[in-house]
């Protein structure tokens, strides 16, 4: 096949794939601002569904946001040092622990949630609070923070860097903050992306752990799909996307800002 034909074919496949991924989302978002979905856009454009959802479910929006940010904070505080520890653990143990870490991912969310309920469910104060959901989210997202961080640590040969740092007189703390953290920044950012998106969109575990007073956005979404007009559920999707997009853009901006800061530093120095 000539180059032109090959290019056209690639373009076609890429377009089809992109459409395959985007069309359902766009349709759902459109349905959320349509007066009557069964008549179609002809029936007119409206924000009443969005307003109705916001009125009924605004608290789920904020709760999801809060849980996602706390989840990120905790996975950072636990995940980065844990990855560091894993890196330095003797070979066969590290491999075992790494396997165990992936268990909550491989296991159905419902099973994980059941385990959490069995273990912590008896503490009614905890059971009724959103922290209960946060526990589930941390359990589920922690491996997604640890894996990219661990991968970057292995790629830069972190143990050797640390030995060099120690030989120059740096204490354990100094090593962690001046060598380990700065040199796995890319892994931390990749992990942060995963943690935020997974936490915000998490349904399986959350559905088991929530109470009527602690609904997150995806749980509310299921609720509205099940009990209300299709347009309401779709308007909800719209709000969901409006929430996750700024979060991701913000993380991306942080990444760019850090990269620029580093290169600016190098330029200024030069």
Partner 1 sequence: MNSAAVTVTLRGCARHFHHHQALQPLDLTVYPGETLVLLGPSGCGKTTTLRIISGLESCDVGGEVWFDDRNVTALPIEKRNVGMVFQNYALFPNLNVAENVAYGLKVQGVARAEREARVQEMLALVDLTALAQRSIDKLSGGQKQRVALARALAARPKVLLFDEPLAALDARLRDRLRLEIGTLLKKLAITAVYVTHDQQEAMALGDRIAVMEQGRLVQIDTPQNIYQYPASKFVADFVGAINCVDVDVHGNPQRFCRPEDVLLASDDRYTRRGFIVASTFLGASQRLMIDIGLAMPIQVDRHARETWHAGQAVSWTLAQDAALQFSA
Positions touching partner 1 (CB under 8 A) are 156-157, 160-161, 163-171, 174, 178-179, 182-183, 185, 262, 266, 269-270
**Cβ of residue 185: shortest distance to partner 1, in angstroms?**
8
Q: Which is nearer to partner 1, 73 or 168 (CB)?
A: 168
Q: Is 83 helix (H, G, I), strand (E, B) or coil?
A: helix
Q: Which is nearer to partner 1, 38 or 173 (CB)?
A: 173
Give the whole-angstrom CA distance, residue 181 versus residue 179: 6
Q: Which is nearer to partner 1, 5 or 169 (CB)?
A: 169
Query: Please, what's the largest Cα pairwise distance for the chain?
Result: 73
**Cβ of residue 257: shortest distance to partner 1, in angstroms?**
16
Give the whole-angstrom CA distance, residue 23 versus residue 18: 8
**Cβ of residue 194: shortest distance to partner 1, in angstroms?**
23
Give the whole-angstrom CA distance, residue 39 versus residue 61: 29
Would the CA dihedral through 76, 217, 104, 246 be positive or negative?
negative
**Cβ of residue 99: shortest distance to partner 1, in angstroms?**
23
**Cβ of residue 206: shortest distance to partner 1, in angstroms?**
37
Residue 149 · residue 80 · CB < 8 Å? yes
Give the whole-angstrom CA distance, residue 159 versus residue 166: 10
Q: Which is nearer to partner 1, 95 or 262 (CB)?
A: 262
Q: Which is nearer to partner 1, 175 or 210 (CB)?
A: 175
């Amino acid at each position: 096949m000539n180059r032109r034909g090959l290019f056209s074919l690639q373009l076609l496949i890429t377009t089809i794939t992109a459409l395959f991924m985007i069309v359902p989302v766009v349709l759902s978002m459109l349905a959320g601002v349509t007066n009557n979905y069964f008549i179609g856009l002809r029936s007119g454009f409206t924000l009443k569904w969005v307003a109705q959802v916001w009125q009924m479910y605004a608290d789920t929006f904020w709760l999801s946001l809060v849980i996602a940010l706390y989840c990120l904070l905790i996975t950072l505080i636990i995940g980065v040092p844990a990855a560091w520890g894993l890196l330095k653990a003797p070979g066969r143990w590290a491999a075992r622990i790494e396997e165990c870490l992936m268990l909550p991912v491989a296991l159905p969310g419902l099973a994980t949630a059941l385990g959490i309920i069995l273990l912590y469910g008896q503490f009614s104060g905890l059971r009724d609070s959103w922290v209960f959901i946060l526990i589930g989210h941390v359990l589920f997202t922690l491996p997604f923070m640890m894996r990219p961080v661990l991968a970057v640590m292995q790629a830069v040969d972190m143990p050797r860097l640390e030995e060099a740092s120690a030989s120059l007189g740096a204490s354990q703390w100094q090593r962690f903050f001046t060598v380990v953290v700065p040199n796995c920044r890319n892994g931390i950012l990749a992990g942060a992306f995963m943690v935020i998106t997974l936490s915000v969109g998490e349904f399986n575990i959350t559905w088991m752990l929530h109470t009527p007073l602690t609904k997150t956005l995806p749980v509310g979404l299921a609720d509205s799909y099940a009990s209300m007009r299709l347009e309401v559920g779709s308007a909800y999707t719209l709000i969901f996307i409006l929430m996750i997009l700024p979060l991701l853009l913000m993380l991306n901006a942080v990444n760019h800002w850090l990269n620029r800061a580093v290169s600016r530093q190098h330029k200024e120095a030069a």
